[in-house]
Amino acid sequence: MTQPKKLFIKTYGCQMNVYDSERMAEAMGGQGYVQTDSPDDADMILLNTCHIREKAAEKVYSELGRYKGLKAERPDLKIGVAGCVAQAEGEEIMRRQPMVDLVVGPQSYHRLPELEARARGGEKALDTDFPEEDKFERLKSRPKAKRGPTAFLTVQEGCDKFCAFCVVPYTRGAEVSRPADRVLTEARDLVERGVRELTLLGQNVNAYHGHDRGLAGLIRELAKIDGLERIRFTTSHPNDMDDDLIAAHGDCDKLMPYLHLPVQAGSDRILKRMNRQHTAEQYLKLIERLRAARPDLHLSGDFIVGFPEETEADFRDTLALIEAVEYGSAFSFKYSERPGTPAAERPQVPEAEKDDRLQRLQALLTRQQRALQDAMVGREVGVLFEKTGRLPGQMVGKSDYLHAVHVAAEGVVPGDLRRVRIVESGPNSLKGVLA
């Protein structure tokens, strides 16, 4: 009996890359591969890369360097680079690391089996096209294995906003939405295999137009699926938060009261330099409308400090916006230059100033996060349990607001959705008891 080949995938970056890695594994499963948790016994190593963070490409080259010994010991080992760094670097990857056998961009990974076959034949295989065919339709159906209670589901890709700091329009391409009927089919399949919560993914997910009523229309259709108990979506742009989607936060019970809505900065001058195409006041008014629809909504955001030409006054505007919104969680970063983007060519803020501002901003965000978390004590929330905890009899799940919740709950299994009373707030999680 032929032994299956082993595939090791290392995933960098966002939830969309997690979803893409799952689909790559499924595509290669049709070629006789099974996944392994270690590169040491793999027949193929695939790095699914992200180009958003600082020195992203160099981190990939460093990771590839770790596999030189494995490649020398086993020349038949195939090494591939996928994702956004693959799209951006292309032939440069193979030039700098000749041991790489294949490079595939995020819009072409449905062709991965063909590329692997070419690599097995001794070719160097490169595909960073933006093909016309729908990659999701070309991919083999997901195997009918049991799934965990939560899953990601990509519904939209690409971005047309061209923020001055961002490479996504260049690596992922223009905004494209999957047809609603295909998303619904995939969602039903996931629910049949045990999924109870879906997070809809897109680089600019609320620009989704695969349903005649946009993302809100898709969410309302998904909410009709028996067995699907929770719906989330990420990541959104303020300019695409339409009236129907705002209303859905108030009248769709399955849409969870948590929204990630990046603003990046609170200074109108910097927002204009970023090409965000909205003002701080417009963002704050949008938050007011969302909270009018769903008063208990928890907000999450993204912030960039030290954007080119940012002054101390600009930074204080960002702190003021954060004070006004009161975020439940947030992601914050020092600006890092992305080659080929407009902001990379502008005068840069000194690193020491970036460091100082990031520390001050994160201190404020941490205080807000802890305050909102502490305010959960005494409340009753829904918790979808996902796994066992470290202590005997302990289960861990996510609240409606995406807080991690630890509960001593004999008889509870992953996939159970239970009411829980919060009794304690820790640094990064909550403790509860079954209600």
pLDDT tens digits, 154-203:
999 889 999 999 888 887 888 999 999 999 999 999 999 999 999 999 99
Condensed to tens digits (0 to 9), the pLDDT of residues 256-314 reads: 999 999 999 999 999 999 999 999 999 999 999 999 999 999 999 999 999 999 999 99
Bridge partners of residue 125, in order along the sequence: 102
Is the distance from CB of 201 to CB of 15 less than 8 angstroms? yes
pLDDT interval class at 22 (50, 70, 90): confident
Provide CATH code, domain 380-434. 2.40.50.140
- What distance in Å separates the CA atoms of residue 39 and residue 44, rounded to the nearest whole number? 8
| Overall size of the chain counted in residues | 435
Burial class of 272 by CB neighbour count within 10 A (0 to 12, 13 to 18, 19+): middle
Q: Is the per-residue pLDDT at 319 higher than 60?
A: yes
**What Å distances lie between residue 75 and 101, 122, 424, CA to CA?**
11, 11, 54
Per residue in 320-338, pLDDT (tens digit) is: 999 999 999 999 999 988 8
Preceding peptide of 366 cis, ω within 30°: no
Distance CA 277, CA 270 (A): 11
Predicted pLDDT at 54: 59
- Cα separation, 148 vs 120, whole angstroms: 34
Helix, strand, coil share of the chain (percent; to 5): 40, 25, 40
201 beta partners = 154, 234
Amino acid at 390: R
Least confident of 48-52, 96-100, 103-107, 150-154: 48-52
pLDDT score, position 52: 65
Cα→Cα distances 127→92, 352, 354, 373, 396, Å = 13, 40, 38, 46, 41
Please report where in the chains the tokens 């840069």 appear, as a residue: 348
Q: How far apart are CA 206 and CA 160, in angstroms?
A: 12
Question: Does the pLDDT value for residue 51 go beyond 80?
Answer: no
Q: Tokens for 72?
A: 């020398």
CB 230 within 8 A of CB 256: yes
* Confidence bin at 215 (pLDDT 50/70/90): very high
Upper half-sphere CA count for residue 202 (Cβ side, 13 Å)? 27
Do 144-256 and 290-375 agree at the fold level? yes
With CA atoms as reference, report the closest residue to 46 among 54, 27, 30, 56. Answer: 27
pLDDT digits (tens, 9 = 90+) for 336-392: 888 788 998 899 999 999 999 999 999 999 999 999 999 999 999 999 999 998 888
pLDDT at 141: 55
pLDDT attached to residue 130: 64
Domain ranges of the chain: 5-127, 144-256, 290-375, 380-434
Q: Which of 33-37, 49-53, 272-276, 396-400 has the lowest mean pLDDT?
A: 49-53
Pair of tokens at residue 11: 């995933």
At CA 169, angle to CA 166 and CA 170, rounded to 5?
95
11 vs 132 pLDDT, higher one: 11
Side chain identity, residue 139: L
| Count of CA atoms in the C-beta half-sphere (13 A) of 28 | 26
E strands, 158-213, where?
176-177, 197-201
How far apart CA 345 and CA 341 sit, in angstroms, is 8
Cβ atoms within 10 Å, residue 6: 18
Q: Tell me which DSSP letter residue 264 carries.
A: B
Q: In whole angstroms, what is the distance from residue 235 CA to residue 273 CA? A: 21
For residues 152 and 200, what is the distance between their CA atoms, to the nearest angstrom? 6
E strand or H helix at 104, and its extent?
strand 102-104
Q: Span 144-256: which CATH code?
A: 3.30.750.210
Question: Which of the pair, 281 or 23, is modelled with greater confidence?
Answer: 281
pLDDT at 137: 64
Class level of CATH domain 5-127: alpha beta
For 290-375, CATH number? 3.30.750.200
Percent of the chain's residues with pLDDT above 90: 71
Confidence at residue 146, expressed as pLDDT on a 0 to 100 scale: 72
Confidence of residue 3 (pLDDT cuts 50, 70, 90): confident
- Residue range 108-149, pLDDT digits in tens: 888 888 999 999 899 998 987 766 556 566 555 555 567 889
